[in-house]
């Protein structure tokens, strides 16, 4: 595959979305062809699935259903957007990917990392990130801010759930350390951004996009 696939992972409120937009600005300035996308969602069908997932009225949703919906949204995303963009040689930056399901559904919901990985692999068509940037911050510090004025079905699960997800991420990184880089997301946004750009620059050099 000609393109480069970068995913951003971390607890709710770790600042991934802000940084992903800044990465886009950086690529635009360099004249690099890129796509910024997110999960759940990223395609028309995926955004419809996202609405079902985050809807606060769907209190009856079972953990297995939730995991399959995330996996379905991801499968469509790979099929319709991620894989075609990579085949065209673009850089794809995705706000959340497989590790989110492993952490939230595998560990947070207790479905098991391996089982959740298995249902996802069905839809991944062999796509693997070249770089996974983990935004490391304790959700105790961020989840209150996210839920102050409401919050979606998952954000409202409480700090115990989000602590479990955070511990889950650390376990997953230990289990699958390939291509993972950790950034301290408690630092000021400017510093986090500079660290992220350094990681991306070194990947682009390795892939010979830059000299």
Residue of this chain nearest to ligand TYD (CB atom): 104
Give the C-alpha separation, 165 to 49, whole Å. Answer: 22
The reply on whether position 5 binds ligand TYD by CB under 6 A is no
CA distances from 142 to 11, 12, 14, 27, 123 (A): 8, 7, 7, 28, 31
Measured from the CB atom, is 105 or 204 closer to ligand TYD? 105
Measured from the CB atom, is 160 or 208 closer to ligand TYD? 160
The reply on whether position 37 binds ligand TYD by CB under 6 A is no
Strand ranges (E), the chain: 4-9, 34-38, 91-95, 131-136, 180-184
The reply on whether position 172 binds ligand TYD by CB under 6 A is no
Contact between 29 and 21 under an 8 Å Cβ cutoff? The reply is no
Give the C-alpha separation, 73 to 65, whole Å. Answer: 12
Stretch 54-93 residues interacting with ligand TYD (CB under 6 A): 54, 70
The reply on whether position 154 binds ligand TYD by CB under 6 A is yes
The reply on whether position 143 binds ligand TYD by CB under 6 A is no
The reply on whether position 17 binds ligand TYD by CB under 6 A is yes
With a CB cutoff of 8 Å and minimum separation 6, the contacts of 31 are none
The reply on whether position 155 binds ligand TYD by CB under 6 A is yes
Query: What is the nearest approach in angstroms of ligand TYD to the Cβ of residue 44?
Result: 16
Measured from the CB atom, is 32 or 68 closer to ligand TYD? 68
Query: What is the nearest approach in angstroms of ligand TYD to the Cβ of residue 95?
Result: 6
Rounded (10°) CA dihedral 140, 145, 150, 153: -40
Binding region for ligand TYD (CB under 6 A): 12, 17, 38-40, 54, 70, 96, 100-101, 104-105, 152, 154-155
């Amino acid at each position: 595959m000609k393109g480069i696939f970068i995913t951003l992972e971390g607890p709710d409120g770790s600042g991934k979305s802000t940084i992903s937009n800044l990465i886009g600005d950086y690529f635009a300035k360099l004249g690099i062809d890129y796509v910024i996308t997110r999960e759940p969602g990223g395609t028309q069908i995926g955004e419809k699935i996202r609405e079902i997932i985050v809807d606060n009225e769907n209190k009856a949703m079972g953990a297995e259903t939730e995991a399959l919906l995330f996996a379905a949204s991801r499968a469509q995303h790979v099929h319709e957007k991620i894989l075609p963009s990579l085949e065209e040689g673009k850089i794809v930056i995705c706000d959340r990917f497989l590790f989110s399901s492993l952490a939230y559904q595998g560990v947070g919901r207790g479905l098991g990392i391996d089982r959740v990985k298995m249902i996802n692999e069905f839809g991944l068509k062999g796509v693997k990130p070249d770089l996974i940037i983990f935004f490391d911050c304790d959700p105790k510090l961020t989840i209150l801010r996210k839920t102050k004025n409401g919050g979606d079905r998952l954000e409202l699960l409480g700090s115990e759930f989000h602590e479990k997800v955070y511990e889950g991420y650390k376990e997953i990184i230990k289990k699958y350390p390939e291509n993972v880089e950790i950034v301290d997301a408690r630092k000021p946004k400017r510093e986090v951004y500079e660290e992220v750009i350094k990681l991306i620059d070194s990947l682009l050099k390795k892939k010979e996009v830059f000299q």
